[in-house]
Structure formats: C-alpha cells, structure tokens
C-alpha cells in the first residue's frame, strides 16, 4: 500500500461523510485502513486537489474543536458551512456525542477488502 493508495482511500472516506455529521482525523484514517494515521489524514487534506471538492469542513479534531485558529478565514468558513448543515459550534466546539459520523455497516463493507489486511 503506497502513498497514492493511502491518499485515495482517505479522500474517498472524507467524501463519504454525510451532511449533518462530522468525523475526526483518526476516525477517517481508521476507516480508510490506516490505524494511527490521524496525521496522515491532515496531510491528505492539505495536499488534496481543489477539484475534488472534499467536504473538508466536516473534518474536525477528536475533541470537537476545529483544527484552525478561531480568527482565521478557514475557521469561519468551517463554522458557517457546518451551521448551514445543522451542526452548531458552541464555544468553538461541536458536540461529538451528537454529531459524530457513525457509518453504517454496509457503508464500510464496500470498501476495498485489503483495507482490513492489517488486522
């Protein structure tokens, strides 16, 4: 499993996050078949081609906070887009108990089978 494969899996997983939900970096990596790959998810987002139009605003830290500084343009865009989808940020954080993405079993099963190799 090379770098391009990992990036494709991560991008694909991010595309799967439905509106109205959020996912954290480690969760995305795990679903993509990359345990302990939270920082890889961050890298994948940073280098993602613009034309993929990933729903990057649905990716936040496990704590429920945005990864961006609260005065940055990115942060405000993320907060606004989440609000549009019905996901409120109270005091700069999303309630993960309520809004964390819980992929259904069938959503996981159509992933490439070797996503489960290292288990």
Partner DNA sequence: CCATTGACCGGCT
Partner DNA sequence: TAGCCGGCCAATG
- Binding residue for DNA, selected from 33, 37, 79, 89, defined by CB under 7 A: 37
Q: How many CB atoms lie within 10 A of CB 91?
A: 6
Question: How many whole angstroms from its chain centre is CA 11?
Answer: 9
- Binding residue for DNA, selected from 10, 16, 31, 41, defined by CB under 7 A: 41
Question: Smallest distance from the beta carbon of 41 to DNA, in angstroms?
Answer: 6
Q: How is residue 23 written in tokens? A: 């996912």
Question: Distance between CA atoms of 21 and 96, rounded to whole angstroms?
Answer: 9
Does position 46 bind DNA by CB under 7 A? yes
Does position 17 bind DNA by CB under 7 A? no
Q: How many CB atoms lie within 10 A of CB 116?
A: 10
Q: Give phi and psi for 54, each to the nearest 5.
A: -65, 145
Does position 38 bind DNA by CB under 7 A? yes
Residues 54-83 that bind DNA (CB under 7 A): 56, 59, 61-63, 67-68, 74
The footprint of DNA (CB under 7 A) covers: 3, 24-27, 35-43, 45-48, 56, 59, 61-63, 67-68, 74
């Amino acid at each position: 499993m090379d770098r391009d494969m990992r990036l494709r899996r991560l991008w694909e997983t991010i595309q799967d996050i439905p509106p109205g939900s959020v996912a954290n970096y480690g969760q995305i990596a795990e679903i993509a078949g990359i345990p302990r790959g939270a920082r890889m998810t961050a890298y994948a987002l940073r280098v993602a081609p613009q034309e993929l139009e990933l729903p990057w605003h649905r990716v936040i830290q496990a704590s429920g906070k945005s990864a961006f500084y609260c005065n940055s343009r990115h942060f405000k865009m993320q907060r606004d887009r989440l609000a549009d989808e019905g996901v409120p940020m109270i005091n700069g954080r999303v309630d993960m108990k309520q809004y964390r993405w819980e992929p259904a079993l069938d959503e996981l099963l159509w992933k490439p089978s070797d996503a489960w190799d290292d288990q």
